[in-house]
Structure 1
Amino acid sequence: MDATLKKLQEFQREISCSICRSYLSEPVTTWCGHSFCRACLFQSWTLGTAAFSCPECRQVSPVKKFPGVNGDLAQLTDMGKKLCSLLLQSTEGQSQCAKHQKVFKLFCEDDQTPLCVRCSQCPEHRAHKLSPVGEAAHNFRKKLQLLQSQLRKHFEEAEELLDQEERPAVDWHWMIAGEYNKLHHFLMEEESRCLGRIKEEERASQDRLSQHRQALQDLMLVLQDAGHQPNLDLLHEAKQLLGRSESVLSQRAKTVSPELREYPIPGMIEMLRRFRVDITMHPATSNPFMTVSEDLKSVKAGEGWQVQTKLPDNSDIHAVLAEQAFSSGRQYWEVDVTQLPQWILGIYTPYVRRKRKRNVNSRGSVFLLSCVKDEEDYYLKAFPGSLNHRVRCPVPRVGVYLEYSSGTLAFYNVLQSSLIYEFHSIAFTEPITPFFSPGPPLPGTKAGPMTLCPGDSHLPA
């Protein structure tokens, strides 16, 4: 009888699914010869990787087509289930408890194990719920049928959802692509308007310079002619000539000194903030002329800092460096300079590879943007660079964008979402460290701090 049971067990394994360990249901056979329940294989392939591999031998299928139901194996499984049931019934009476050599007549619902009568009287089973073997098997078969019904329902639902995914009712790919195309179109229109405005303002600036030059030329001719007049005639016109001269000369600052124009770029600051980094100031890089806050997020000018109105040489700049240095990727940070009439921001790098291109200046190891106040006017200057422009009002917050691979360093007016200045094609070869200088201070004033803005801060509209 033991040999019969052994053969029965082997046959059961042949018609059983290695995934769910139950008899094959709607059996399918993979290209490598292994068979599984259709639902089990479908779930395995759906939840797995893109490659369809056999759950048994792990060989990757050369095709991604789901195999059909193996009808012959389905018939064999049905016949095997009936045969196994008959054999189990014929051998059921021979199944005995190894401890008491008694036939299993009871089933412990708590431990889910068959018991003989003597086992059921043991202390560990006295408080347990016991059922006759036939009744327990009948109840369990009903549970199995219910589970199969639920699994079949879920399988059909999964098939329906997969079919919907393959043929979606809403073409999101097309709709989202359309939104991006719309955005590109809006940006191109905005770019065209902005470039047109730049050309108009450049022409207006050229017209002002031409008019100023003509006014100077006309005045020089008038003054030259006046110099040849008799004394009394000259003196009679003196007041008029001096007034005209003052009027022409007063236009010089507004005409000759360029003004930094604002060209807002919609969405630029929001896009740059995707690359925002959390940086802190390194207290060890400060000096007696500056004080770094305890949270390492701000720096103030000290009382001993001598007043300067021009951008100094590298060796004369009082500044602190960030604790972080960057040698790859993209980074963006914002600095609040609301309380500073004068300030310097930028980066420091130990070495820059020299190039012959005129637009890449490699004389120094710093690339800076400074704000300088001259009487009532504010000027933004780049070092090294050609920027030296007046601004209508101080910039309250400056955004700094660094892109290592392309050698780009850009400064933005965050409030206006406009570009201030950009260094490009810098040949970086060493790590880059952010640079902060809260001065030089103005005489008779008490400057506030230069502060790194937190990642979730925003200026009021």
Structure 2
Amino acid sequence: MDALELARKLQEEATCSICLDYFTDPVMTSCGHNFCRECIRLTWEKAKGRKGGRKRKGSFPCPECRELSPQRNLRPNRLLTKMAEMARQHPDFQSRDLCAVHQELLKLFCEDDQIPICVVCREAREHRPHRVVPIEEAVQEYKEKVKEQRRRIMVEFEKVSLLLLEEEQRLLQALKAEDEEVGARLRESSATLERQGHSLEMLLLQLEDRNEHSPLQMLQDMKELLNRKNSLSVQYPEVTPTVLRTVCRVPGQIEVLKSFQEDVVLDPTTAYPYLLLYESRQRRYLTTPLEGALHSKERFLAYPCAVGRETFSSGRHYWEVGMNLTGDALWALGVCRDNVSRRDRVPKCPENGFWVVQLCKGKKYMPSASAPTPVTLAEPPSHMGVFLDFEAGEVSFYNLKDGSHLHTYAQQQFSGPLQPFFCLGAPKSGQMVISTVTLWVKG
């Protein structure tokens, strides 16, 4: 007999047949059956009121065998008290191992209903047509499925890792080739300028040397020098663009970031008085230009800005912004500290609590004036993603049109809670779309 069967047997012996729970202060009748003292007392109390319930004065039928047993003959069963206490504390037996309906061990597994059942349930009409296997066999099958799934996960991630490694090598090779190409063109331009500079320097030396000759000799040599000067063609090298053609684009990265996507909700109480917010689902404006709005401490007054209601002080968060902007648009988006200055015009840089990208007059797309290497794009993106990793101290920006990475701010840690930040420029500079809210500056 295994430990579970032993535990079950102990449970059966230590259970009162009246209350179906472990014995409490068990007593034995003269016929040898055991019950909780309170259970047998209540049973006999009920029997007093029944017609013909009492067969002899002071005697009552046993609930198990119906034999008459004098009430005064009830004897405490100390051994059963100890057994009941052992059953309560037995670590190998839990109620979850028993069928809730039949109080039998759950030895079988119904594959149709995906639940464990007992042998009595197996014969019931509900489970009779189903495929039923021993629970040990079902556990083994489950372990095999887990093992196979683990193998598949490892194989698929290995494939993705290989593809990412190949793409990484391709991008690095493309960047190296671009570096060598631009370097070669710059070196060629430098060499051309150096040769032309040497020729001009030699001509200048000859002119200075002729300056020491007699006037007649100078006039005689001038024709030759002028011919040499006219034959010397100064060629300016072609402009070599320094904007990188190779972009950082990791396959599947945007899909991974979308697992952290937030439904960012703009806070109308923080919006610049003439920054209009229109909710498309509600078909109404969330803000209107009001004179009283100038008195709000939460409202931006220096720029047409607004922030999200969410305040992030931990975790990873991602949101997307759509843009329909004109060529002369001035805008910025990213995150800001929740306590940034909202009434003063300050540079939008990390030192002032802003981690943003900006577009200046449709030409430059830069993190901030203090950033060492501004990010320059050929054209402004129409759809951008912002990813905040608070614990890592990073804010990253992505062009969702091609999935390319644009810029990442990285620092040791953020000094306080952050909020999504949005800013538009002058009237007629275009629109931003955050979730279902469109914002623009009233003209």
Tell me the TM-score normalized by structure 2. Answer: 0.56
Question: SS where residue 337 of structure 1 aligns?
Answer: strand
| Structure 2 equivalent of residue 200 of structure 1 | 173
Matches within 5 A, 1:62-101: 62-63=91-92
RMSD across aligned positions (CA): 4.4
Match of 1:264 among 241, 249, 255: 249
In the TM superposition, residue 153 of structure 1 has moved relative to its aligned partner by 8.0
Partners in 2 of 1:216 and 1:32 — Cα distance? Answer: 100
* Secondary structure at 1:389 match in 2: coil
Amino acid at match of 2:335: I
Gaps of 5+ in 2: 1-51, 67-79, 99-119, 204-224, 290-299, 341-348, 438-443
**Are residue 188 (structure 1) and residue 161 (structure 2) matched?**
yes
Q: Retained in 2: the 8 A contact 1:351–1:429? A: no
**Distance in 2 separating the partners of 1:175 and 1:31:** 50
Given candidates 397, 406, 412, the residue that maps to 1:420 is 406
Contact 2:122–2:128 at 8 Å: present in 1 too? no
Cα separation, 2, equivalents of 1:262 and 1:226? 42
Equivalent in 301, 311, 323 of residue 337 of structure 1: 323
- Segment drifting more, 406-415 vs 189-198: 189-198
Contact 1:31 1:61 in 2 (8 A): no
Q: Which amino acid aligns with 2:150?
A: A
Partner residue, 2:53: 2
| Count of matched residue pairs | 303
Give the residue type in structure 2 aligned to 1:61. H
Encode CA deviations 1:297-347: one digit per residue, 9 max, x unaligned: 9999x9xxxxxxxxxxx9965421112211222211100024354431111
Query: Contact (CA 8 Å) 1:260, 1:390: kept in 2 or not?
Result: no
* Residue 403, structure 1, aligned to residue 389, structure 2: yes
Deviation at 1:434, TM superposition (A): 0.6
Correspondence for 1:139 = none
Q: Does the CA-based 8 Å contact 1:398-1:411 persist in structure 2? A: yes
**Counterpart for residue 226 of structure 2:** 231
Q: Which structure 2 residues correspond to residues 83-122 of structure 1 after superposition, within 5 A?
A: none
Is the Cα–Cα contact under 8 Å of residues 333 and 357 in structure 2 kept in the other structure? yes
What residue in structure 1 maps to residue 138 of structure 2?
165
> Aligned partners of 2:260, 2:65: CA distance in 1, in Å?
60
Q: Give the letter aligned to residue 192 of structure 1.
A: L
Task: Report the alpha carbon displacement of residue 152 of structure 1 after superposing the two structures with TM.
Answer: 9.0
> Aligned residue for 2:183?
209
Aligned equivalent of 1:285? 270
Q: Is the 8 A contact 2:264 2:309 kept in 1?
A: yes
Identify the range of structure 1 (315-324 vs 421-430) with the bigger mean alpha-carbon deviation.
Answer: 315-324
Moved more, 173-182 or 394-403: 173-182
Q: Give percent identity, aligned residues only.
A: 17
Q: 1:62 to 1:149 in 2, by over 3 A?
A: closer
Which of 158, 177, 192 aligns to 1:218? It is 192
> Is 2:381 the counterpart of 1:368?
no
Separation in 2 of the partners of 1:366 and 1:196?
34
What is the alpha-carbon distance in structure 2 between the residues aligned to residue 322 and residue 409 of structure 1? 16
Distance in 2, Cα, partners of 1:417 & 1:180: 25
Give the counterpart of 2:335 among 327, 347, 363.
Answer: 347
- Once the two structures are TM-superposed, the CA of residue 10 in structure 1 deviates from its matched residue by 3.1
Partners in 1 of 2:286 and 2:145 — Cα distance? 49
Offset, 1:433: 0.7
Name the CA shift for 1:169/1:407 in 2 (closer, same or farther; >3 Å).
Answer: closer
- The aligned amino acid for 1:364 is N
Q: In structure 2, do the counterparts of structure 1 residues 298 and 406 end up closer, same or farther at CA, with 3 Å as the change threshold? A: farther
Change (3 A) 1:193 1:391: farther
- State the match for 1:324 in structure 2: 310
Partner of 2:103: none
Question: Following the alignment from structure 1 to structure 2, what is the Cα–Cα distance between the partners of residues 4 and 340?
Answer: 103
Structure 1 residue runs of 5 or longer lacking an equivalent are 14-29, 35-53, 69-146, 303-313, 353-360, 456-461
How much has 1:406 moved relative to structure 2?
2.1
Q: Aligned letter for 2:179? A: Q
Aligned-residue offset at 1:407 = 1.8
Structure 2 letter corresponding to 1:435: F
SS in 2 for 1:402: strand
